[in-house]
Amino acid sequence: MTNINGKTYAMNAITPMNAFYTPILKLIFFILGHVKPLQADLIQLSFIHFARWVVVKRHQFPRLSEKQPQEQLHYDYLLFFSNFNGSWNQYIDAFADVLSNGLNLIWRWSARYPGARPVTDFKRYIGLVQFDTDYYYTAYPRATTNDVKAAHRVSAALEEFARNSKDMAPAEFGGAYLRLVTQVQMDLGATGIGPVGA
Partner 1 sequence: MPNQSGNVYGLTVLSPILNGADGGVSHDCAIRDYLAKLPRDQRSPFAKVSSTHLARLVVMEDVVFVGTPAREEHLQSKYLVFETNFDGDLDTYLTRLARDAAEEVHAVWQHCVGYPGVEDPAAFAAYMKKCQIETTFFFAAVNNKTVQQTLRALKVQSGLAHFIESNQGKSAGEIQAAFRGFLEKVRHAPEPPAGEDEGHPHG
Partner 2 sequence: MRRNRRLAKTKGIHMANQLNVADIQGFVLSGYNFPFARYLLLELEGPQNGRDFIGQIIPHVTTGQRWDNGKPQSTVNIAFTHKGLARLGLPDATLLSFPVEFLQGMKARKEILCDTGRNASENWDEVWRKDVVHVWLGVNALTPAALDERCAEMEGIVRQTGGARLLEAQDAKAVFIDNQPTSKEHFGYTDGFGNPDFEGAVRHSQPGQGKLTKEGEWIPLATGEFVLGYPDEAGELPVAPVPHLLANNGTFMVYRKLHQNVATFRDFLDAQSRAYGGGKEKFAAKIVGRWRDGTPIELSPGAGDPEIVADPKRNVKFTYGEDASGAHCPLGAHIRRANPRDSAGFHGQLVNRRRITRRGMPYGEYVPEGEPVRDEDDRGVIFMVLNASIFRQFEFVHQQWIEYGNDAHQGSDKDALLGNHDGRGRFLIQGSTDPRNPPFVCARLPQFVELRGGDYFFMPSLTALRLMADNSVDPR
List contacts with partner 2 (CB under 8 A): 7, 41, 44-45, 47, 85-87, 89-90, 93-94, 96-98, 117-120, 144, 146-147, 150, 175, 178-179, 181-182, 185-196, 198
Positive or negative, the CA dihedral 185, 187, 193, 198 is: positive
Pick one of partner 1, partner 2, none as the site partner of residue 79 (Cβ within 5 to 8 A by kind): partner 1
Pick one of partner 2, partner 1, none as the site partner of residue 119 (Cβ within 5 to 8 A by kind): partner 2
Q: Which residue in the set 24, 98, 128, 186 belongs to the binding site for partner 1 (CB under 8 A)? A: 128
Pick one of partner 1, partner 2, none as the site partner of residue 44 (Cβ within 5 to 8 A by kind): partner 2
CA-CA distance, 102 to 138, in Å (whole number)?
Answer: 27
CA-CA distance, 115 to 112, in Å (whole number)?
Answer: 9
Q: Which of 181, 87, 188 is nearest to 146 (CA)?
A: 188
Concatenated DSSP letters of 15-74: EEE-GGGHHHHHHHHHHHHH-GGGGHHHHHH--EEEEEEEEE-TT-S----TTSPPP--S
Q: Which is nearer to partner 2, 28 or 93 (CB)?
A: 93
Q: Does 76 contact partner 1 by CB under 8 A? A: no
**What's the angle, vertex CA 75, arms to CA 132 and CA 110, rounded to 5?**
65
Q: Does 98 contact partner 1 by CB under 8 A? A: no
Nearest-approach distance from CB 120 to partner 2, in angstroms: 6
Q: Which is nearer to partner 2, 28 or 94 (CB)?
A: 94
Q: Answer whether 9's CB lies under 8 Å from 87's CB.
A: yes
Q: Which of residues 159-188 bind partner 1 (CB under 8 A)?
A: 162, 165, 168, 170-171, 173-174, 177, 181, 184, 187-188
Q: Are strands 8-17 and 48-56 parallel, antiparallel or unpaired?
A: unpaired
Q: Answer whether 98's CB lies under 8 Å from 40's CB.
A: no
Q: Which of residues 23-52 bind partner 1 (CB under 8 A)?
A: 25-26, 29, 32-33, 39, 42-43, 46, 48-52
Residues 6+ apart with CB under 8 A from 45: 94, 95, 98, 99
Pick one of partner 2, partner 1, none as the site partner of residue 21 (Cβ within 5 to 8 A by kind): none
Q: Which residue in the set 23, 118, 152, 164 belongs to the binding site for partner 1 (CB under 8 A)? A: 152
